[in-house]
Structure 1
Amino acid sequence: MTTGLTYTRKTTSPEATKQLASTLAPYLHEGDVIVLSGDLGAGKTQFVQGVAAGLGVRDQVTSPTFNILLEYPGGTLPLYHFDLYRLEDPDELEDIGYFETIDGGGASFVEWGEKFPSALPYGYLEIAITVDADGNRTVRAQSFGDRARQLLFVWAKDSKSRLMKAAGCNG
């Protein structure tokens, strides 16, 4: 279902990852869903911390591993941060209000969303973070659906994001 846009950027520190994420914040709209993938410790929560800072959230943003969902209503747009790592069955998504939240009035960031591909909305932006042996991260953003394509396009055009079009991609 890819719509052809993929961009990447390497970051060399947690601060650089947060800075990149903060450049996404001004372009987020209600109902945007961002799926974050990467190994444990790759920087998914750091990415959300950067977005939260860009939205003006003053609360400390932490990993929702044991809460499943943490809400941050204090910024220019409500931010919902899911961590689905501990869930085993798609039916559990109903119990946590997942579908109502992602369709609601804020931007949703979903860690480990790839565990439940049938529960992903039609359109979402996937942020995959990988870490090399030296601790440098590669952040890969790929759009799925029209709104995500538009979001990625305007984010990539922001000179502060310094995103680079991935080789072999059209769009």
Structure 2
Amino acid sequence: MTTTDWITDIALVLVVFRQLREGRLDLKTFLIPLGIVAFVAHTYLDSIPTEGNDLVLIGALMAVGAALGIAGGVHTRIRVAGEHLLIKAGAVSAVLWVLGMGARMGFQIWVEHGGADDVARFSIAHHITTDQAWVAAFVLMALTEVVTRLATIFLRGRMVAHRQPLAVAARTAPVLDRTA
């Protein structure tokens, strides 16, 4: 792994740790992780192979990324404080994020330190045509995890923000005397 690989992988893991303490849900919440994965996609994703079972591998890892992203977004607390939405990643969200991002990093380290032959045998047996299929699968898995987590947080944030006016109205509405 290059220094850029290490920095990028660690940055992706640290994104969720930044959210372990409560902070405002704002544009930075979305732009920082999207910027990192856009950089990763631009750097590592040359093409998306479609031969053999390459798309099956890519689709399977993207599905894993989507499941991790949605679950991570669901396990992120979002609440209203005054005029702002606050966000805090829970322990489950952090574990899922590290699991997803760490899997890619772990796979890359394993391949570089003795696992390449095993991956080659698996690829031949399952008709995965190139190492670019593995690169595309893991990059798109990370991208899918980030996008689905952020989409889930965005949607949940909108739901929380829309419920808040109802809660304020219910607390301030006069109580009607129905006995009269």
TM-score (norm 2): 0.21
Q: By percentage of residues, which structure has more strand?
A: 1
Q: Which of structures 1 and 2 has the bigger CA Rg?
A: 2
Q: By percentage of residues, which structure has more helix?
A: 2
TM-score (norm 1): 0.22
